[in-house]
Structure 1
């Protein structure tokens, strides 16, 4: 398939995306380009937020608070396959419009002009305003399914401590990325013929049956040029990470390049790479590398990206910058993935790789992946099942699998079997589970931090049975999360949607004692109308709670990260328990319905048994007495009634409900309530 065929196919798929997901054609093209941008780790989790006015255009943004980095995206859509040329002026114009947007928001010039109903855009402006002092890198992306010039990228620059970087993703870059993902094109670097360079090396062969090792020194300018061509495709996909100038080491790399380039080799530890093959020759007793096939950087990505980014600045001279490079040639090709992963893990790290990138081979994740490839979604009509959910255990799996299918019919079959809407990755799985485990404050701390905590839960639950039932219920949580996300979005609240969704799920989990009928959600691939009404009723309650921190003036995002925020929401009096009765699974909750089984001490079990032994009529009577006599608080009156329902239906109680029940009973007796046998 040539680039012309790829461009036509890409446009056709984008138009299908637009129709199936009810998006504008421009938004669909943007979304489909994101598949490649995120697979290359150039972005984390972009959010669509269209806005256009005089001198400004924004299609999406991505904010990574772990790296203090903001990315802005603007798209040039091409809707005719035979008219794909993008003028240099169009690209330059969009870079300028994104830069103006960022500057205007920082200066407070746009806030009054933006309608709060544009929730994603309003949230972006809040992020820029509230994190103005934290954001150290702004990356401006022009996206297009057309063909742009290769020399239109402005130079990087720095203003008031903020580093501005520019990226262009056009159809040629997408095509190159697609071919590499499909294994149809490898990174082949011909140092001698392409770059007129040969690298002196120390060859250490035959020390192992699995690898040969070569040590060399590569010019910084050449390393920057190679990275500029291949970008993060050079970085082994299971360990590549979003690279910015937040880390101290990156700032020092940049400073050394600018101020002491001749000392860079002495100061820097170098990079570790792997390859499938190298071309070497000997001349006058000296060994040289003149060719490397399928080069992958497994350690030193920060060094490489920092050299490249700094090279884009004005008046930067890399002629005296050199980098030590270790090349491990994998001879045991059948064990390539495992060996590369081990080298990545054990290489002396200058900057830590994200924990989520090293967890892919955990048995838990492998089991989820296996079920996602074998469990068909129940057919609503009773006919043959046609689709499944797709779990990305490693980055870019979905795109890899799609690319490996033969273009045309086979790829369309893949998209039917694994619809884009049904894919999810490790970070999203962690959001589903940690929200359900009632840790919305951890989810609010960001994807990477939340995943670290989720990984701890997996370690603690080493004996968890990832059964078919568990997988079905996990997908039930995924569906619940996605539906609630859409319901919140429709409310146009003006930000904090991610926090809202997690807190809503945690609240429902708490009120149902984790006994929501997730299996039924799996069967229906949707939540019930009744549950939608419950969510609709909860949205304004949760919104008022998270936007009213205990301390006046406290940042809302920071408030959502505190456990206290969750505890106070969980204790709120909300009359939804009767509405949730029909949503409770008939059978008692099994361990497979949650990652970690709740363990009670004998004393706690005794407290629950004591409350369960009190007749439902007593709890109903207490609630009526309290209302008639104007005794107790409204919360305690309602809880008394709810306890009667739970005991009557033998639904089981949480330890907190039981303790509150005994407290209420004691207080009522002290105020004159008498139990009538």
Structure 2
């Protein structure tokens, strides 16, 4: 099956989960999820806007993203093929798409005057850009998502899109095309990163590979040019860091003062002063002359601050008319080549723990087993809903659900067991934790970017994992059912309650929980799980959502509501101004219970040898061959196995 067809299936799956989406917006959401999961972007804000102009000078944008230290602005546009056959996007078509996006930057985002209403999210972006971002932005990335094949995409000339004035500024303008081939690569394995040297440096990079007589791993030493590191960070950013802690190497990392001074004043001394990098790869592919052609599955396990500082210090210097001579900068790298017969993730984590760290990394961030997520996934295969008589599927890794469905002999049977609209993702988990399930009610975290929420929640994985059992799991799924009901009733598009759905849903659940907390009670999510829904009239739910929508607009809307909802002081303000009587109507109809303390799971219930055994009897009738599931079980057991090195 071609990935073009697979994408169509994923789009239908996405629409089944949210009927308010159309095919193009669902495709855009899927593509942006792939990039966010790979840490290529830090988030995605839908902001569809189209304006038709004469002479084909149209304006179009589908979304945007600003990284957390407000230095990189990413703009997104979608070219969606709704036909049944894959097409080709030539260079001229690509230029047309990027020009539409560039016009939005010029005539909406950076414009002193625009005709957008205040409630439009792009109006907020305009305000922020003109007051703040114009002084902080060092890079603007333009992204094109298409389910067609883009031809000659490497020949795109930025000068044909942006003005000469923008070419001369200190801001870097980059154009990135994610066509069906690129999206397939991310879909298959969004954590692997292969670096082809010739794409990032115009001279050979050589390695010294001593023979150590170990069949499990190899080692090599290399000198990386500063320009090579700058270029790969420009394209991959946080993906360069070891997968379990890649959030550490986000664009929030501050430029090390000593590194910056050396780069500007004595770049030729950088090699002598810097501790260097620890890198892991799965393979080093060499050219005929012995130089490196490709680093397979390239990960910087230690040295994230060095790499990010080279990039940001260079960008920072441009703004002050200084120059970093990257050709004089070199960094030593110890490269560990991890063979297939051992646990690469465990070794990466151990290397990071034992390296001479240049910046503080929490040991909890270096956890590679992610027991909590594995146990939730196991629960999702064990506990069948008593009312619907099927399962809610917890997707531990992106694409896991679709992979299992594609392996199925009988897709209809698989969908009966695990319906599309009963898939819960890690992003849903982090939303629910802060507005419904955690020890504190913090909706201002629930509405943060998926990356930030997940990074914060990882600190609680160990403590939450100790609570997992049937009661814990069904409580989680009950909260997910409640969350989905509110999302559906709020709606999208013309018939929606408003345009701030994610904020209203998070604050709505949080306000109910905050009210009940006064009486040491909580929503009975286990009851919602048992009933697979709520027995409350739609009109009451909608009236409640309308009130919360108006409450947020009245108290927080100064043109920056989306940002305001991410602040604790905004939550405090809402708590002071809410009319609690307005909540009593819906609360009286909700199932309520005393706050429960979940018992620790038993080692018998979640012992290592039983991982995935819980699902084998039923699932093996669905999977093509037992061998394929044996492979999945083997990979999972490797994730959890202690490796002595």
Output the TM-score relative to the length of structure 1.
0.68
Aligned partners of 1:503 and 1:542 also within 8 Å: no
Partner of 1:174: 183
Structure 2 residue aligned with 1:561: 567
Tell me, yes or no, if the aligned pair for 2:349 and 2:367 is still in contact at 8 Å: no
1:95 and 2:103 equivalent?
no
User: Is contact 1:276–1:294 with CA below 8 Å preserved after alignment?
Assistant: yes
Query: 2:156 & 2:261 partners in 1: Cα distance?
Result: 26
Aligned to 2:7: 10
Match of 2:530 among 504, 523, 527: 523
Provide the C-alpha distance between the structure 2 equivalents of 1:404 and 1:48, rounded to a whole number of angstroms.
29
Mapped to 2, the partners of 1:339 and 1:451 lie a distance apart of 23
Shift of 1:75: 0.8
Given the alignment, which residue of 507, 520, 524 partners 1:503? 507
The equivalent position to 2:338 in structure 1, one of 330, 354, 363, is 330
Q: Deviation digits for residues 429-488 of structure 1, max 9, x if unmatched? A: 2321221242224445665665566456666x5795222121111122223233334444
Distance in 2 (alpha carbons) for counterparts of 1:316 and 1:84: 43
Query: Is residue 255 of structure 2 the alignment partner of residue 249 of structure 1?
Result: yes
Shift of 1:13: 3.9
Whether contact under 8 Å (2:69, 2:251) holds in the other structure is no
Residue 358 and residue 161 in structure 1: after superposition, are their counterparts in 2 closer, same or farther (change >3 A)? farther
Shift of 1:141: 0.7
Residue in structure 2 matched with residue 580 of structure 1 by the alignment: 587
1:152 pairs, out of 156, 174, 186, with 156
Residue 106 of structure 1 contacts residue 128 of structure 1 at CA under 8 Å; is this kept in 2?
A: yes
Once residues 173 and 167 of structure 2 are traced to their aligned partners in structure 1, the CA distance between those partners, rounded to angstroms, is 6
Write the distance in 2 (CA, Å) between the matches of 1:242 and 1:93: 37
1:439 and 2:442 aligned: yes
User: What displacement does 1:509 show?
Assistant: 1.0
* Alignment partner of 1:56 out of 56, 59, 82: 59
Where 1:339 maps in the other structure, the secondary structure is helix
Compared CA separation, residues 416 and 37, structure 1 to 2 (3 A): farther
**What is the distance in 1 between the residues matched to 2:392 and 2:84?**
31
Match of 2:480 among 478, 481, 484: 478
- Structure 1 residues without counterparts, runs of 5 or longer: 596-677
**How far apart in 1 are the matches of 2:415 and 2:272?**
51
Question: Cα distance 1:466–1:180, how it changes in 2: closer, same or farther (>3 A)?
Answer: closer
Over 3 Å counting, the alpha-carbon distance change for 1:250 and 1:144 in structure 2 is farther
Whole-Å Cα distance in 2 between the matches of residues 160 and 409 of structure 1? 57
Q: Is the 8 A contact 2:108 2:122 kept in 1?
A: no
Higher relative contact order (CA 8 A, sep 6+): 2
1:577-622 deviation per Cα after TM superposition (whole angstroms, max 9, x unaligned): 254223134x644223999xxxxxxxxxxxxxxxxxxxxxxxxxxx
- Give the Cα separation in 2 of the matches to 1:414 and 1:130: 52
Between the aligned partners of 1:76 and 1:105, the Cα distance in structure 2 is: 20
Q: Give 1:324 shift.
A: 1.7
Question: Superposed, which structure 2 residues align to 1:83-482 within 5 Å?
Answer: 83-108=86-111, 111-114=114-117, 116=119, 128=129, 131-132=132-133, 136=137, 137-148=139-150, 149-152=153-156, 154=158, 163-180=172-189, 187=194, 197=204, 199-201=206-208, 203=210, 205=212, 211-220=217-226, 235-241=241-247, 247-249=253-255, 262-266=268-272, 268-278=274-284, 293-300=296-303, 319-330=327-338, 333-349=341-357, 358=366, 361=369, 363-378=371-386, 380=388, 385=390, 387-392=391-396, 397-399=397-399, 402-403=402-403, 421-436=421-436, 437-443=440-446, 454=457, 465-482=467-484
Which residue number in structure 2 is paired with residue 638 of structure 1?
none
- Contact 1:11/1:145 (8 A) holds in 2: no
**Equivalences, count:** 569
User: In the aligned structure 2, how far is the partner of 1:231 from the partner of 1:420?
Assistant: 32
Aligned 1:663-674 pairs, distance under 5 A:
none
Separation in 1, partners of 2:135, 2:470 = 44
User: Contact 1:542–1:569 (CA<8 Å) still a contact in 2?
Assistant: no
* Structure 1 residue 142, shift from structure 2 partner: 0.9
CA pair 588-555 structure 1, distance change in 2 beyond 3 A: closer
2:643: which partner in 1?
none
Partners of 2:474 and 2:72 lie apart in 1 by 36
